[in-house]
Structure 1
Amino acid sequence: MNNLTFNDVNFNPVEQNGQIWLTSKEIAKALGYKNSTSINKLYNANADEFSDNLSQVIETTVSVVSSKTKGLRAKIRIFSLRGCHLLAMFARTDIAKQFRKWVLDILDKEVGAPAQAPNQLSTTVDRKPLVDAVNMHCKKSGAIYSDIWKMVHQRFNVDDVECLTVEQVPQAVEYIHSYSLKATMPATPISSFTHNQYIMNVKGEIMDYVDMLRKIVVAGGNTLPKYPEFDTEEICQAFIVSMIRHNRMMLNFDHNGKPVVGFIPDEHAVVSSESIASVVQFADKKQLPSIINEAVKRLGQ
């Protein structure tokens, strides 16, 4: 295997499962550390981020320093190229950024295609769509800015938004959009709408939401994607069905014989005219006056 050189550091790669691995001692030099102790500290502080295909401990023969050490075996930590890139993400030396680019260049040559960095932390530019989504939600709903960011932190188990990876950013944007859509749904009880009124209301909410997303895309300097070919009416109906699936409904007929579907609130019961008397005996005493009033009104009709 050919040696690799970064600046004035000459690497002696270790071949592991047909891949290039580098030792912590040589990585330390490349990143500007005095010795491998700093690398070990970085690894230990973020050990949960490294799988076995990123870092391993192997045994190797100690270089001949004296007759006493000749032939001795020692354990050393090694990192795959992807592991090196991840390690350099945690490094705070001036040369770390340049080292990460060098590692990716080596990966490109190894696999013959552009390499994707594992768990690459997002930048301010990467997070702009997320910031726009949060700002839009707070402006529309009146939510407290810091509270929404706390929700994002909890959802992705991070202490700060800067800890989000590039892969997590679009997931976070989708999370905020979904939350925003739920938060803007009508707060009034479903029972206050007839079926047709409710359908029109929800369809309006959906189209407003789509329009908001399009404005965010344009504001970010991006090109609007082409609308997919689908039946808009069918999509809206499917969305409505999923929302009302677990709600009870009653079919009535108005004075003109026109059918009207209404929603039954969860706290309401439906009884037949024959069973009303038996149901009243179990009613709360506080409710009896209102029941009597309604009964008197009905008798007067």
Structure 2
Amino acid sequence: MKELTFKDHSVVPFDNGDGKIWFTGEQLADLLGYADSKKVSNICNRHKDEFTESMTDILKVRTSNENNEIQYTSVRAFSVRGSHLVGMLSRTKVAKDLRIWLLDLVEKEAGVEIEALDVQSLAQLAGQGIHDAIATFDKKSFKHRGQKGSGLMAQRKRDIKRVKEATLLALKLTQFAIPDLGDFPDGEPA
């Protein structure tokens, strides 16, 4: 798996074999600023009724000890959604930032990426293409950031502002006035 960076922490997600992003309890504890990785286990145990099987699992991991003997240890791993829930239940100073970062990972993992609305690149598109790009961005923003309780309403408000700016620019680029050319003859001979 590809290394991810959150603030000054680099973390390689745990490979659960399902192609999804998973973090170990130890990795989450580090990202949340806990000195003891058992804090994440304690959160999970206190709120176990809130975690589904797709959010956390105990996995057997093959490692080697100091004598290079293969041994198996149990590791609790959390999906991105499970990690987000741990972040919701955590009270560290960095938990809020971690939750925002994890929501971005959820969108990427789900294949839903809302690309930035680059107003300058709109000028390169044909008239209808400009309006289509704005409409596509607005639909994705509303669907993924505009629902009550999504926690992303502040981002949606910024998106709405960008849509308004882009729409004004699009109208300037695609609408033009036809000059008055005077009266045309009715086809009568002069």
Place the TM-score, normalised by the shorter chain, in its bin.
Answer: 0.5 to 0.7
Q: What's the counterpart of residue 91 of structure 2?
A: 92
Distance 2:41 2:109 in 1: 26
Distance 2:43 2:84 in 1: 13
Cα displacement string for residues 60-87 of structure 1 (whole angstroms, at most 9, x for unaligned residues): 123x56216x421100100000110011
C-alpha RMSD over aligned residues = 2.1
Distance 1:98 1:114 in 2: 19
Distance 1:23 1:34 in 2: 15
**1 or 2 for the larger relative contact order (CA 8 Å, sep ≥6)?**
2
- SS state of the match for residue 15, structure 2? strand
Superposition pairs for residues 70-219 of structure 1, below 5 Å? 70-113=69-112, 166=149
Is the 2:6–2:101 contact (alpha carbons within 8 Å) kept by the matching residues of 1? yes
Superposition pairs for residues 12-31 of structure 1, below 5 Å? 12-16=12-16, 17-31=18-32
Is the 1:23–1:77 contact (alpha carbons within 8 Å) kept by the matching residues of 2? yes
Distance 1:39 1:51 in 2: 16
Is 1:32 equivalent to 2:65 in the alignment?
no
Distance 2:73 2:65 in 1: 13
Q: Give unpaired runs (5+ residues) of structure 2.
A: 115-147, 151-190
Q: Which has the higher helix share?
A: 1
Is the 2:14–2:21 contact (alpha carbons within 8 Å) kept by the matching residues of 1? yes
Q: Give unpaired runs (5+ residues) of structure 1.
A: 116-125, 127-165, 168-301
Cα displacement string for residues 8-44 of structure 1 (whole angstroms, at most 9, x for unaligned residues): 3222212332211110001000001012110011000
Is the 1:9–1:26 contact (alpha carbons within 8 Å) kept by the matching residues of 2? no
Is the 2:65–2:71 contact (alpha carbons within 8 Å) kept by the matching residues of 1? no
Is the 1:58–1:77 contact (alpha carbons within 8 Å) kept by the matching residues of 2? yes
Is the 1:42–1:87 contact (alpha carbons within 8 Å) kept by the matching residues of 2? yes
Q: What's the counterpart of residue 123 of structure 2?
A: none
Counterpart residue identity of residue 22, structure 1:
F
Q: TM-score, structure 2 length as denominator?
A: 0.56
Counterpart residue identity of residue 15, structure 1:
D
User: Structure 1 runs of 4+ off > 3 angstroms?
Assistant: none
Question: 1:4 offset after TM fit, Å?
Answer: 1.4
